[in-house]
Structure 1
Amino acid sequence: MKIAYLIRAHRAPAQVARLIGALRHEGAQFFVHIDAKVDEAPFRAALAAPDVRFIVRRTRMNWGGYSMVRATLHCLRELLASYEDGAPDRVVNMSGQDYPLISNAAIAAYFARHADMEFISYGAMPPAFWGPVQMQRIERYQFYDCEPLVWPSNTNGAISRRLPWRLRAAHKLAHWLLPRRSPPAGVTPYGGSAWWCLTGATARRLLALADANPALARFYRYTLHPEEMYFQTLLMNSGMDPARVRGEYRENALGDYLWFVDWRGASPRILRAGDLDLLLGANRMFARKFDASVDSRVLDLIDEARPYHTLR
């Protein structure tokens, strides 16, 4: 099975190399995008291999901004262009702090059993898991990707308050004083996770739809975390049969979403060795987020368990 892993990273080259090593199998290709704000050289040194390609058109990725969507679209374009025979069987969009919980054989077998299914978490805005307050993401003007109103983030992804108070005040005033916004006519907005597994044919179709719908890009350019909404909205408004899409939010719980994420906090919790039973009992294909500088033992334990673990 041809699986294209699209990995966005901005730190920890050795950890990204370990992720690729864990996922490496016949038919796999790895497409790595390194945030344009950081030096790519350490990643090229750590990841040098015939099955690894670095995305040429790098993007400065800003926390909460449309630059995340732009980077993913550039990556998809380069990824799909590299397949002369059309497209891979699967495109897996993940971060450099993810890790697989099952063997590569089990991953391929699961995708083969569900060859026509798309795996992406989704729910009509606002998804039950998010709550009504999250409508502010799209109804209010957001400027998290607009220079000089780029909001720095710390290493855990949380907003840093280093931005001068005058700029913070300007952002808040614009957020509340400008009129409420609505998506383009006829579009129902959706939300979910930034990480997904789509068939190659659907990934190519979404890229074509993105090119054909510039109004949607203009709308999401001024939203918060559009990478968690744009692709869901594009897919669920494309006319695709919802029965082919796995990962719907139901009663505050994820359906067939393939990632385990511990959301017992404002952002994904760093997973540690003490979480192993939780991880292996989650019935998920991947998990995030990991930080080898905090706890690398958890990755060792997962590697020991992966050959004997599969999805139910």
Structure 2
Amino acid sequence: MKQATFSAYKNFEHLADIIGFFDEGFEFYIHVDKKSKVPKAVLEKIRERKNVKILSQKYRVNWGGLNHLKSALFLADKALKESDNQYFHLISGQDFPIKNMSQFKTITNSSILKDYLEYFELPTENWANENGGFDRIQYYHLLDTLNAKKHIKRLWWFVRLQKKFSFKRTIKSKVPKLYGGSTWWSLSRETLQYVIDYTDKRPYLIKRLKYTFCPEEIYFQTVIMNSDFAKKVINDNLRYIDWENNRIGKYNASPAVLSIADFEKIIVSEKLFARKFEAPISDNLKAKLLKNKS
């Protein structure tokens, strides 16, 4: 029985450390933003790793856009084609594992594999500044068209313009009860296969989520929590994330960039991964976690 990890690129040295943390019982399916100009030699070095099964540049991925969700579904579909893969983790290029191998493997010891997914019904107080989350889907967000890193002011201006003229996109009855939550999850094969099958057979929801804000924080929750698999879900994404202490030196980040000062809190947590890791702030922390992996 193997576990599969889906990852997105940000720093290839960090990605190599993530891959190196795990043994042959883990496979990696990686998506790199199509617009990233990465030297072929660097990509080939990652592809040569024995447990890297896919390294794709299928989509241009902008922050907040639909292609982030599409890339996760693409990798999931590929990983499910390997029958040995029974458990799946979605992580980013800023995550890092914080438990040792035996602790990772205990998750698949039960005859009934649990699903770990943060979820809440919409509207929610968690997204109170976005009309409980409905601003995300009732207004057009052109995040796949315009890169937020360059055009964030234009993007939010366009949303404000829609509000000014009282324009709202309809949410038809074909859209199931909406849920939201964290992008990152750990899911069993049975549940993830259901999400892929749902996407193929009932494409209306993913099509409706085009031009929404961060649809990857809505899609998996909505599909799973409206299914019989909801009873298997534990409302926890198993990720250690610090949303409060978001300043280290001159750096501002949301969530916080983790450092060696966070080691004890991370280790005693019941989480599997932590984020965010950024060099050089997180280097000492990562080195200590690598020593702790066996």
TM-score normalised to structure 1 length: 0.82
**Within 5 Å, which residues of 2 pair with 1:50-89?**
50-56=50-56, 58-81=58-81, 83=82, 86=83, 88-89=85-86
Aligned counterpart, 1:257:
237
Superimposed CA distance per residue, residues 245-304 of structure 1 (whole angstroms, 9 cap, x where no aligned partner): 011xxxxxxxx3311111115721110111112212222111111013333001112223
Alignment of 1:173 with 2:161, yes or no, is yes
- C-alpha separation between the residues in 2 aligned to 1:47 and 1:292? 23
Distance 2:144 2:74 in 1: 19
Is it true that 1:287 corresponds to 2:267 in the alignment?
no
Task: Quote the residue 2:232 is aligned against.
Answer: 244
Q: Deviations along 1:150-187, whole A, 9 cap, x unmatched?
A: 1332xxxxxxxx42966653343135532253254361
Identity of aligned residues (%): 25
Q: Which amino acid aligns with 2:241?
A: V
What are the equivalent positions in structure 2 for 1:126-141 lying under 5 Å apart? 126-131=123-128, 133=130, 134-141=132-139
Between 289-298 and 221-230, report the one with greater CA deviation. 289-298
Tell me which residue corresponds to 2:13: 14
Tell me, in whole angstroms, the C-alpha distance in 2 between the residues paired with 1:33 and 1:281. Answer: 31
Query: 2:106 is matched by which residue type in structure 1?
Result: A
Match of 2:249 in 1: none
**Equivalences, count:** 283
Contact 2:162 2:168 in 1 (8 A): no
Alignment of 1:1-312 (within 5 A): 1-9=1-9, 11-22=10-21, 24-40=22-38, 41=40, 42-46=42-46, 48-56=48-56, 58-81=58-81, 83=82, 86=83, 88-113=85-110, 115-131=112-128, 133=130, 134-147=132-145, 150-153=146-149, 162-163=150-151, 169-174=157-162, 176-177=164-165, 178-182=167-171, 184-185=173-174, 187-240=176-229, 242-247=230-235, 256-264=236-244, 265=246, 267-307=254-294
Q: Deviations over 1:55-76 (max 9, x none)?
A: 4462111111111111111112
Q: Distance in 1 between matches of 2:268 and 2:154?
A: 48
Quote how far apart the aligned CAs of 1:139 are: 4.3
* C-alpha distance 303-87 of structure 1, shift in aligned 2 (>3 A): closer
SS of the aligned residue for 2:20 comes to: helix
Contact 1:64–1:145 (Cα < 8 Å) also in 2: yes
Deviation at 1:128, TM superposition (A): 4.6
- Give the superposition deviation at 1:219: 1.8
**Structure-2 change in CA distance of 1:211 and 1:289 (3 Å):** same
**Alpha-carbon separation, structure 2, partners of 1:47 and 1:270:** 28
C-alpha distance in structure 2 between counterparts of 1:87 and 1:144, whole Å: 39
Structure 2: gaps (5+ residues): 247-252
8 A contact 1:137–1:225 mirrored in 2: no
Question: For structure 1, which runs of at least 5 residues remain unmatched after alignment?
Answer: 154-161, 248-255, 308-312
**C-alpha distance after superposition, 1:4-38 (max 9, x if no partner):** 111111x210100001111x223211111111111
